[in-house]
Structure 1
Amino acid sequence: MKYFWSIVYNFLFLPLFWLAAKLFSLFNNKLKTGFKARKDLFKYLNTKILTLDPAKKNVMIHCASLGEFEQAKPIIDELDKTDKYNFIISFFSPSGFNHSKIDTPLRSKIIKTYLPYDSPPAVNKFIDVTNPAAVIFIKYDLWMNLLKELKSRGIFTMVVNSAYDIRRFKWKFPVSLSYKRSIYDYVDVIGVTDEEDKLHFRKLLRGTEREIEVFGDTKYERISKAKEVSSDKALINGEVLTDKNVFVVGSSWDKDDDVIFPVIDKISSNGLSEELSLVTILAPHEPTEDTLEQIEYDIHDKYPHIKSIRYSELNKYSGENLIIIDCIGILMGLYKYAHVAFVGGGYQTGMHNVLEPAGYGIPVMFGDEKLSEDAEHLIKNGGGIAVEDSKELFKSLVNLLRKKDYRFEIGKKSLSVFDSKNEASKKIAEIINNRI
């Protein structure tokens, strides 16, 4: 089946993918940016590669976007301890390439690049220039021609944080499973998060010699590290939140706001206002000026008891009950102020990272329509609460704020998801050190 899927991939999927991406780039700035950057990719790479230490081996880590890069950081930190490698971080998405930052000092040299269009000539040239001794893929974004060429050259490959998501159609449908079997059969080591996923992958790859290992998930380590880094950073003046119950809403979309704002307005409009002393910190998923202005317009038009102020203007704070975050990169640190958190995306596009607030040992709420695997894990452990609408959110939020012991109990269960999950990067680094 490998030969069949190679034909389908190169003569049907890739041309259609390229044409569709080119068409949508006329209307989508991210796609347009990606095409523009790849136009001069090798000119850029030939310059950047000269900054690496020629005496060290190159380890490439591929991340689809910014979220996967955050999961790669513990691996980079662990491998950096050996002082044996250069790091080449490749991205598919412009958001990952443009916003990725290393926030800990490294001894090793590191560069970042876009992954080229997955045609055989581009892939061959890319591997020639980057000369990786090993390639680590974070979670997914596996490209057939790249994997095929790496395999033919005997370059070690590993995919980590792999999850076999049986809830999704593509992990059930026989045709897509056949394709996935072909793709994963090019990978030397598949690192999964738990024993259940290992069994699923073992069944998928039955009859092959693929090595499947349970590493855990590096995102748990990343969150623990981010907590340490942000613990001493004062993002909000203490006087603003003194004697207040703090409700942090992370990465919200308009459908989340439609559920949340009526609750804030209701709490602020009756006797509960004085009892609960609620301040909400709202971090929109995309805090563009258009988004911020629309939020402010909706509040002014529909919710008379909500008074808002932007984060950048907090020096003018005068008792507002809603702080709107108008910058990026601080959400993780804001959760440390929260008594309760709500994570956006559950009613619309798919959920943001529910583990970030869970890492602070607080109850985590979210919409009930598009639950992530982590959200389901939180619910199962008793630390997550899915809400259908404003009525359910109001009831749950008031209950959590009124009953401190109950809130602490839910928070402990939320934190428990981190148990025994902080060793993944060490296991991954050990394999890399032994194989190259």
Structure 2
Amino acid sequence: MTFLYNLGIYFYALATRVAALFNPKAKLFVSGRKNWKQQLKSGVDSQADYLWFHCASLGEFEQGRPVIEEVRKEFPQYKIALTFFSPSGYEIRKNYDGADLVAYLPLDTKSNVRYFLDVLQPRKAFFVKYEYWYNYIHQLKQRNIPLYIVSAIFRENQSFFKNSLWGKWYRKMLFSFEHIFIQNEKSAQLLEKIDITNYTIAGDTRFDRVAAIAKSAKKFENVEKFKGNSPLIIAGSTWKPDEELLAAFINNSRGVKFILAPHEVAPANINRIHQLLKKKAISFSKVQNTAIEEFDVLIIDSIGILSSLYQYGNIAYIGGGFGVGIHNILEAATFKLPIIFGPNYLKFKEAVDLVEEKGAFPIDDSNSLNKALNRLLEDKNELANASGICQKYVEKNVGSTKVIIKKVFNT
């Protein structure tokens, strides 16, 4: 099975090189790893002790960030190395000042792994949520470097829990972790079934992250002016199916302001959204020296500010639910916003929890979206109740980072 895995990595590398010829993301994936050995060698301080954190992409980084920043504060004797698998994480966070070294993760071949670990020589390693690379995990175990996974969540249909040859081989990786920090009781039950007991139900570190965001949110005077005294619906990380549903509601609304923050902020996509709207709309990049209060819709055509914008909202719509899955709902929940999203949310514990508690509301078409929004806009008691539910949900789930730090560093 190890041979087949390594063969699969080889073909994956070949496929990405082919895809790089016509796919911009694949091109970044390949070009970002060119000369990685020289960059690693020059970037590592050979006299320092490193802690290595690895994240698949941007979402996992936000999940691991509270741990990184707490470690940096409490244990300044260590330097932090941060790696990403995906360009969508690295390209946005390559200048993150909470790490001393930020790099792409070299592909999981035996030779790459040996060189990477020989140069970095981390004292401890942390993988965030669900990164399982056999050669890295095997080599860390061989070198007696403690490996932890943070905010892991397991499901019954994962390979670890299948009795096939692949499943049994894949499962062995879990026994190489020093400790596994999981999010929920269901994950604990699954681990127990395969005789893994070195776990702690620590919860989800994202709650610590969004709580920190709420305390340090940026202020935007132009957004305050835009909102005025009107109720404000903020639609975050939207995709085309979300935007088409929302546009129909917006075009028929009265007395309500809207912020649309699409996942894709390329000019062509921003122009497409403008074309959908009959209401008076303006892009965020063009609000200077305008009477912004006269507009009904503010379209965010930049990245990095959405989490702070939620402080001005009354209701949130989170995109992705008509695609592979919803985006981060906790950033809105921490600001007490009731949340609406599409039908593909069942893989996200926080979404399932908030639907059950009636702080979030799934929709599957234009009619159900209209009903959900109108109910919250017209019934102040329901809006207040849903708002309180979201606030309490975040508050009761903070603290995962402290649990992890205490266990790892015996504090």
Would you say same fold, with TM above 0.5?
A: yes
Structure 1: distance between partners of 2:120 and 2:161: 36
* 1:346–1:371 contact (8 Å) kept in structure 2: no
Structure 2: distance between partners of 1:6 and 1:15: 12
- Indicate the residue corresponding to 1:340 in structure 2: 315
User: Secondary structure at 1:236's aligned position in 2?
Assistant: helix
Q: CA deviation at 1:82?
A: 2.4
The 5-angstrom pairing of residues 360-399 of structure 1 reads 360-373=335-348, 374-399=350-375
Structure 2: distance between partners of 1:235 and 1:119: 51
Structure 1 residue 97 corresponds to structure 2 residue 107: no
* 2:161–2:171 contact (8 Å) kept in structure 1: no
Q: CA deviation at 1:20?
A: 2.3
2:63 counterpart letter in structure 1: Q
Aligned partner of 1:313 among 270, 286, 290: 286
* 1:347–1:370 contact (8 Å) kept in structure 2: no
- Indicate the residue corresponding to 2:65 in structure 1: 73
Q: CA deviation at 1:174?
A: 4.5
* 1:383–1:415 contact (8 Å) kept in structure 2: no
Structure 2: distance between partners of 1:101 and 1:361: 31
1:18 counterpart letter in structure 2: A
1:68 counterpart letter in structure 2: E
Aligned partner of 1:141 among 108, 131, 138: 131
2:351 counterpart letter in structure 1: A
Q: CA deviation at 1:172?
A: 6.7
- Please give the TM-score of this superposition, normalised by the length of structure 1: 0.88
2:241 counterpart letter in structure 1: K
Structure 2: distance between partners of 1:60 and 1:369: 33
Q: CA deviation at 1:97?
A: 1.3
Structure 1 residue 25 corresponds to structure 2 residue 11: no
- Indicate the residue corresponding to 2:6 in structure 1: 10
Q: CA deviation at 1:113?
A: 1.2
Structure 1 residue 421 corresponds to structure 2 residue 397: yes
Structure 1 residue 291 corresponds to structure 2 residue 286: no
Q: CA deviation at 1:430?
A: 2.1
Q: CA deviation at 1:102?
A: 7.7
- Indicate the residue corresponding to 1:270 in structure 2: none
- Indicate the residue corresponding to 1:127 in structure 2: 117
Q: CA deviation at 1:415?
A: 2.2
CA RMSD of superposed structures (Å) = 2.1
Structure 1 residue 349 corresponds to structure 2 residue 320: no
Q: CA deviation at 1:161?
A: 0.5
**Deviation sequence 1:68-105 (CA, Å, 0-9, x none):** 111122112221222221100011112211211787x8
- Indicate the residue corresponding to 2:220 in structure 1: 234
* 2:160–2:168 contact (8 Å) kept in structure 1: no
* 1:381–1:417 contact (8 Å) kept in structure 2: no
Q: CA deviation at 1:248?
A: 0.1
1:259 counterpart letter in structure 2: L
Q: CA deviation at 1:189?
A: 0.9
**Deviation sequence 1:232-281 (CA, Å, 0-9, x none):** 522634222111110000000000011111111122xxxxx2xxx10110
Structure 1: distance between partners of 2:246 and 2:376: 15
Structure 2: distance between partners of 1:134 and 1:60: 6
Aligned partner of 1:222 among 180, 202, 209: 209
**Deviation sequence 1:170-208 (CA, Å, 0-9, x none):** 5775446435412212222111012221111221x32x5
- Please give the TM-score of this superposition, normalised by the length of structure 2: 0.93
**Deviation sequence 1:125-182 (CA, Å, 0-9, x none):** 000111101100000121100100111111100001011134x565775446435412
Structure 1 residues 236 and 142, CA, compared in 2 at 3 Å: closer, same or farther?
A: farther
- Indicate the residue corresponding to 1:244 in structure 2: 230
* 2:179–2:198 contact (8 Å) kept in structure 1: yes
* 2:205–2:401 contact (8 Å) kept in structure 1: yes
2:104 counterpart letter in structure 1: Y
Structure 1: distance between partners of 2:340 and 2:380: 16
Structure 1: distance between partners of 2:169 and 2:26: 25
**Deviation sequence 1:321-380 (CA, Å, 0-9, x none):** 111101000110111111000000001131100111111112100011354412112111
1:217 counterpart letter in structure 2: D
Structure 2: distance between partners of 1:18 and 1:102: 26
Structure 1 residues 216 and 169, CA, compared in 2 at 3 Å: closer, same or farther?
A: closer
Give % identity: 28
Which ranges in structure 1 are unaligned for 5 or more consecutive residues? 268-272
* 1:134–1:432 contact (8 Å) kept in structure 2: no
How many positions carry a matched residue from both structures? 406
Q: Deviating runs (4+, > 6 A) in structure 1?
A: none
Structure 1: distance between partners of 2:4 and 2:200: 30
- Indicate the residue corresponding to 2:79 in structure 1: 86
Structure 1 residue 61 corresponds to structure 2 residue 37: no
Structure 2: distance between partners of 1:116 and 1:84: 26
